[in-house]
Amino acid sequence: MEKANSFILSVVLQLLYLLVACIATNISTDQSALLALKSRVTLNSSHPLTQNWSSQSSVCDWIGVTCGSRHHRVRALNISNMDIVGTIPPQLGNLSFLVSLDMSKNNFLGDIPQDLSRLRRLKVIDLGYNNFSGEIPMWFGFFSELQILILDNNGFTAIPPASISNLSKLETLSVSNNHLQGSFPKDIGNLQSLKELVLVSNQLTGSIPYSIFNISSLETLALTYNQLSGSLPADICRGLQKIKSISIISNQLSGHIPASLSNCTQLYDLSLSYNNFNGIIPPEIVNLERLEFLNLGGNHLQGIIPAKIGNLRNLQQLQLENNGIVGSIPRSIRNMTSLWILNFNTNNLTGVIPEEIGNLHKLETLYLQFNKLSGSIPEELFNISTLTRVSLSTNNIGGVIPREIGSLHKLETLYLQFNKLSGSIPEELFNISTLTRVSLSRNNIGGVIPRKIGSLHKLETLDLAENYKLSGSIPEELFNISTLRVMSLAFNNLSGSLPSASSYWETNLNFLHLGNNSIDGVIPSSISNSSNLKGLILNNNKFNGPIPNSLGDLRQLERLMLFENNLSSPHLSILTSLANCRSLKEIVISDNPLNGVLPDSIGNLSGSLELFFLDETEIRGQIPLGIGNLSNLNTFSISGNDLTGSMPRTFCDLHNLQVLYLDQNRLSRPLPECLCKLSGLGLVRLSYNQISGPIPYCIGNVTSLRNIYLNSNRLTNIPMSLWSLKDLVELDLSNNSLVGSLPPKFGNLDAITLVDLSRNHLSGSIPTTVGDLLKLIYLSLAFNELQGSIPESLGKMISLESVILSNNILSGMIPKSLEALRYLKDFNVSFNRLEGEIPTKGPFLNFTSQSFMGNEELCGGFLFRPCKARSGHHSRRSRFLLIVLVPLVVSLIGLGSIVVFMFRRRRNVPTQVESLPATTILARISYIEIERATQGFDQCNLLGHGGFGSVYKGIFANEMVSAIKVFNLQIEGAFKSFDTECEVLRNLRHRNLTKVISSCTNMDFKALLLEYMPNGSLEQWLHSDDYYLNMIQRLEIMIDVASALEYLHHGYATVVVHGDLKPSNVLLDERLVGHVSDFGLTKLLGEGESIAHTNTLATMGYIAPEYGSVGLVSRRCDVYSYGIMLMETFTRKKPYDEMFQENLSMRSWVCNSIPATPEDIIDATLFEPEEIDFKKKLHCVSSILELALNCTAESPNERLIMKDVLPNIKKIKLEFLRK
């Protein structure tokens, strides 16, 4: 018996030994796998795993390792957030007992080795926040026990169906912030155990499969930031009985929000913001009593806010911004006492802010800006002590700012700009020590700025601009706020002086705008302590004394605007000091009595300087040679001074110079020939100097020249090469000593609109080639010694508005051909030797005797003596002609009447096709064909109305679809509009211009056949509830428009000014590519600062200030219109919106918000404050709006040109995509 027991014990001991050896072997395998992982990653010596993961200690004691109690094998590996860099080794697949694998929040790279597919016990995989890429491995489908799969924040591009279809136990699938592309994975609908589906921030397209809405276990559906389209099913809650959260923000879903959502009784989060939903907010939604988050902003919703919205007592967020919601704010909101965000901004809400809002004791954010709310700010609002952000801007709120505002002790942001607030700023406001941003601009606030404002020690932005009634001095305490970065007090009635003590300027100011006030005294030298200043704008005040040289210590300064003050600078030393500001781009010190000699140190200014204005500053002496060092200079203006000597040859080193103003000085000597090396020079104004000698012959080489003003000098000769400048737009050489004659090459100036050669000594005859100047508007050759007759060819110059030929020795008759000049308004041939009958038709009906006086042999007309009858053989010949010709004329008139009668009855006489390029003309188009193509001009084919007619959609017999522009010839200017469009479209070729196909014209019908654009106009996409353009689409369309304008202004032999640029004239093809259309108001002028005149006003709101009542147009007018379009495209506000009244324009509205508060004006459908890309998008649109402001400067000379605009907006797009 003892032997038996001994035997059994021996066997047991051997078995135990074998078991222990087996376990040791298996745990050794786990150890080897983890050591292999350690060898594939980079760890520094202090990393926890460096020493801890060692063969000297048990695997089960290692950091991040959990072993099972039964088999003593590794069951869980959690090394998340340990700053590990490396790859996953295949040996990790040997951890055969592994149940949970968490390697998230590290920097693992490369592929996931297929050896991991052997880990069949895995229930949890978290590889989020790493750098894996490619498709999610198909063998993930082998993990039949898997319950949680998290792959967030990697670079995965697709979910193969086979990788998920077998995961029947999967409860959580999260693949957010990856690069998933293509259609929504339909196989996800087979995962009937799924509780959480999170695919946020990918690039999924197409509709959401219906099967997703049948996963009865689903609790969370998060698909935000994709490109999903389609609609939500009407019975959405039938299969989603346990759903708690639906978040599908920023997609392209459309249709109505299903009323059946009220059946999802467990729902606490419904977020459908920034899609294309339309219709109303379903009233049934108020039955979702558990709802905490309701986000429906950025759609096309209309109607009212449900009256019983207050039933949602548990609601914490209510965001309905950027819709078309009307009506008033329901008073039932008083019941939503858990609310901490209330956002109704950018709707059409009316009425008052209800006093019941004071019940929302947990409210932190209140956004009601951009509505039509009226009344006053309810005092009850200030009972909400939790408020941190309040924006009521851009409404019609009046009354005063209540003193109770001081009780909001947590308030950080207060935006009340663009309202009708009056009274004074309550001192209690400055009890709120937490304030960081305050904007009260564009109200009617008066009184003074309270000194207590200095107690706001966290203030970063202060905008009190454009109240006009705000008076008194600027409190010194304001300059003690070290956190202040942006201060704008412009356009008020502030007076007093700025503090001088250095302690007041030890701030972090980036931008200081005090322009257009009545501030006097000196500019304190201690302002240089604000070393972060980039913009210092003090123009239009009463500052006096010297400009402090210490401004040169502002090393980051980019803009310095001191114009229109009473400032001085001994020896112009300020220019020497500013040489230290190496980032300086703009210096404008015009209209100050600087009264000094321009120093040589001007050449030491920043190489980045682009704009330099010293007009009307009483400076004297010579222009220093150092001017040539400013290699980046674009515009140099030093007009209206007392400069003497010659233009230095170093001007020729300014290779980027485009605009040069040196007029109204005492410059003398000949022009330097080296000016001809400035290949980009577009405008030269040297008027009213004493420059002598000939104009350099090489001027013909400067083909960029568009405007030459050399009038009122002592020039003696016009070089023959000047007449080769085919793109020249304006030429003024009047009041010189020019001699010689006008050559036939005078007619080569194809783009010229203004020629003034008056008050010289020109002789000879006016060349007949002058008639080739078809774009010429103003011609003055008065006070010369011109002889011969007035050329008949003048009658071909259809654009002429002014012809001044007085005080010459012209003879012969006034050509009858001039009667055809329908735009001619100013005509003067007085004091010549003209004879014969004065024309009596056309424009001659309006001219007075002053136009013809001093010509003794002129007769006829309505004001001069009758012309004498001829005698002798002339009379006999006349009688013979009467006998022969009268019957012939009568016969021809009769025959003509019959022809016209037959034409009007049948109207199928073949019509003439205008001279359009052969590549675009189809077969001859007749009126009958157009009538049939439009079904008799049926209203159902009407695409829209324009200033000179209507546009129809036409389908011809060959199935060609065309847009047919039919001109209403009863409207004044319609004939010219048709002629202009034919002239413009005849030769233009650009992908972003509307293409002309053919034309049809007869005596009483004119039409153009244009390329059909199926997506309508940019206007309907911006302002219709049925359309939406995202950030990139808007950018690309505006790049298209810029490309077209750049071509019109700079890329074509004759520079073309569109004249009526606006969103309705930008058409979109099937790919949403923009095409500029409607050239009815176009002027064929040329490039540069050219000026033309037009009677036909463009669309109000888009026209430049200089357009005015007299209709001055130039290339810069197009740039201005483009800038307004940029603002409209990214704010979705029309420039003639009713909010823009009195002193508020779209430009000033944008200007007041840039750079301080751009989010207040940008179209909120482009983003929401909580989104990941918010700052990126905000920066992008801010850059666009800054570009728009540069395009819409008040002075045309300060605006960009399209050659600069196009690369700028392309750069903005590129930077946005890179970020």
Task: Indicate the pairing of strand 172-174 with strand 148-150.
Answer: parallel
Nearest Cα neighbor of 566 from 597, 589, 599 is 589
Q: How far is 272 from 250, CA to CA, in rounded Å?
A: 8
What's the token pair of residue 1008? 């153009």
105 is in an annotated binding site: no
Phi, psi for residue 954 in degrees, rounded to 5: -125, 135
Can you tell me which residue has the tokens 């290949």?
Answer: 679
| Token representation of residue 787 | 């002889």
Enclosing H/E stretch for 508:
none
The length of the chain in residues reads 1219
**Contact of 208 with 236, CB cutoff 8 Å:** no
Nearest to 803 by CA among 846, 762, 755: 755
Count CA within 13 A, CB hemisphere, residue 131: 10
> In angstroms, rounded to a whole number, what is the distance separating the alpha carbons of residues 323 and 300?
5
Q: In this structure, what token pair is assigned to residue 25?
A: 């072997």
List residues with catalytic annotation: 1060
Partners of 811 in the β-ladder: 789, 833
DSSP, collapsed to helix, strand or coil, labels residue 36 as helix
* HSE toward the beta carbon, residue 128, CA cutoff 13 A: 14
Q: Do 584 and 609 form a contact (C-beta atoms < 8 A)?
A: yes
- Residues with Cβ within 8 Å of residue 971, at least 6 apart in sequence: 947, 948, 949
Cα torsion 1194, 1195, 1196, 1200: sign: negative
The answer to whether 1031 touches 1177, Cβ cutoff 8 Å, is yes
Instruction: List b or e across 1055-1064, with b for residues whose CB sees 16 or more CB atoms inside 10 angstroms.
Output: bbbbbbbbbb
Residue 999, strand partner residues: 1008
β-strand partners of 685: 661, 709
Strand partners for 1056: 1084
Match 């030269």 to its residue by tokens: 684
Q: What is the DSSP letter of 1050?
A: I
Of 1132, 1116, 1135, 1138, nearest to 1204 by C-alpha is 1116
Query: DSSP H helical segments within 220-358, as ranges?
Result: none
What is the distance between the alpha carbons of residues 668 and 645, in angstroms, rounded to a whole number? Answer: 6
Under a CB-based contact definition with an 8 Å cutoff, are residues 1008 and 979 in contact? no
Bond prior to 48 in cis (omega within 30° of 0): no
Positive or negative, the CA dihedral 250, 181, 93, 52 is negative
Q: Could you give the strand order of the β-sheet that contains 739-741, starting from the edge strand earlier in sequence?
A: 739-741, 761-765, 785-787
Structure tokens at 652: 């020729």
């941003």: which residue's tokens?
437
Task: Give the span between the Cα atoms of 661 and 683, in whole angstroms.
Answer: 8
Residue of 597, 539, 533 whose CA lies nearest to 563:
539
State the Cα–Cα distance between residues 137 and 135, nearest whole angstrom. 6
For the chain, helix (H) and strand (E) counts, in that order, are 12, 72
Residue 1003 contacts by C-beta under 8 Å, 6 or more apart in sequence? 900, 903
SS3 550: helix
Q: How far apart are CA 36 and CA 592, in angstroms?
A: 77
Binding site: which residues? 965
Binding site for ATP: which residues? 965
